[in-house]
Chains A and B, each alone.
Chain A
């Protein structure tokens, strides 16, 4: 039962530090800006369509989709296109065709669609940054302020102190993901209406050796697809949180630990582009964060990577981080 009190302590500290409020504020601002921008783009696209082609996006979208299909087919024939973009173009064509076949208007926006899209765009950088804000000073903050001394001279074993911090972090991760979901569904609802949760979504496209494999395509309702996206988001938060906490333990200064984990993450975003031939990069956690892209099949960072591979790699990193954290935390001498 003591563990519960310890977790309570950690939560009180987190709230008093105003970290959680800060994360929430960032989420609200960013989602609002993002939703507003989406809305503007949508209005402009519709205006352009009616101006140039004389069609309205709501009624004559089939005509437009047909045009887009032809465009993409032409582009595929171009000799300058590399294999990777060929594959993703094929996926997009397949999705568009699917939309046509099932009478799903891709131009229509909804809160459900926005909510899903928001997390798909956040999962590899924005969401991890929010988690880092919470995790990176959980231990290093106590080391640099000296309060770690007060914490570790109680009649509580060290592993229990760390476990309480770790569990608190997981609770916060769940909260951040839930807040991201609720806030984007609410805020975007004001722009696009609150519906769209039952609309069908095609998922399961795969690219095998540069060829599109549509044998395992599934038709799921939007809410279910959203749920999958946000579950993956939680998994990513958990992995990034575990690694951040480890760095927070190993590096005694908060600034240094935030710096290390952030630069690693940002580096991960271009490593997959520049070093995609270098096989070892696929075992780095930061190039495996775009899990949601496997759902839509639109993106493949490095040839040969798939959902199972990425999840395994990420899980490996998380387990290693937790083991290192606990061993180091329970054994270290507190000198400062």
Chain B
């Protein structure tokens, strides 16, 4: 297993000034996976990411990238990584191209052609020779992605990557990430507070709270888990009927609203039954489970943005 893993975190701990920021995080990422890392502010996301790329040394535990330990074999481990940590800070007094050349000079595997390709990939070809100080946040974000993918890393780490992108830019960015993951075979590690972003982009999501990963889930699983909401005049009776005829556990949400997971049961038959039993059905709709529901559920309504 560990041979194929792109990233492996084993019992990762970090204590800063006596405060436990990260408490025993375990994670394994496989090739071509888009992984989402979700958590409220101060949950330890950025600290975890900084430990992955070696900016911070773990108090305990280890980070292994493509089989190389970051602590013991930093150069080999980091050869497989491209990243943006928090904001895409570039040298503002250099042009976009000069910035890219700075980082290309640090890795001899990057060719001139690759730099050109990457600039086009992120759509910066018209502004790349302007000083970064004249860039908007969105453009700096694109430049940040360009420097991160330049070396064709196996693992791409993006900390809050869609900050400052407009809606069109976000869609474009999402497509780019998918392309990188599925065509270039990169494993992408995205941390974000934008739940919808993660939901639309990622295959697997881990939710971190107060330094521990509290749940790791497959995004497809939650999305297919459809729920139905009914508005009826006699909710107790409706719940009893659902239990009796279809063995469905329903819950009462509001005064007249009940909700249940149908799991393959026919909605039309259920509604027919309700009407036959004299229940006044005023409203019925399917409601897709979102990551947000789960997230809020798990983090108990903590501030997330």
Name A residues whose Cβ lies closer than 8 Å to a Cβ of B. Answer: 2, 5-6, 8-9, 12-13, 16-17, 145-147, 149-150, 152-157, 331, 333-335
Contacts and interface: CB of A to CB of B under 8 A. Distances in A.
Contacts of A335: 16, 50, 56
Contacts of B50: 333-335
B56 A13 contact: no
B93 A17 contact: yes
**Interface SS of B by simple majority:** loop
A16 B133 CA distance: 13
A6 B105 contact: yes
Given A154-B106, A155-B107, A145 B55 contact: no
Interface string B113-147: 00000000000000000000000000000000001
Contacts of B75: 155-157
A149 B56 contact: no
Contact of B55 (A149, A155, A157): A149
A333 B57 contact: yes
Q: Is the interface of A mostly helix, strand, loop or mixed?
A: helix
Given A9-B102, A145-B89, A334 B74 contact: no
B79 A155 contact: yes
Interface in B58-93: 74-76, 78-79, 81, 83, 85-87, 89-93
24 contacts: A2-B108, A5-B105, A13-B94, A17-B93, A147-B91, A149-B55, A149-B85, A150-B89, A150-B90, A150-B103, A150-B147, A153-B53, A153-B54, A154-B78, A154-B103, A154-B106, A154-B107, A155-B75, A155-B76, A155-B78, A156-B75, A156-B106, A333-B50, A334-B55
Given A153-B53, A333-B57, A334-B56, A6 B106 contact: yes
The CB with the most chain B CB atoms within 10 A, among A16, A153, A157, A331, is that of A153
A154 B92 CA distance: 19
Interface in B22-63: 50, 53-57
A156 B102 CA distance: 13
Contacts of A6: 105-106
B98 interface: yes
B91 A13 contact: yes
A24 to B, nearest CB: 18
A146 B106 contact: no
Contacts of A13: 91, 93-94, 102
Contacts of A153: 53-55, 78, 81, 83, 85
Given A12-B94, A149-B86, A153-B55, 10 more contacts: A5-B105, A5-B106, A16-B98, A147-B91, A150-B89, A155-B74, A155-B79, A157-B74, A333-B50, A335-B16
A201 B232 CA distance: 109
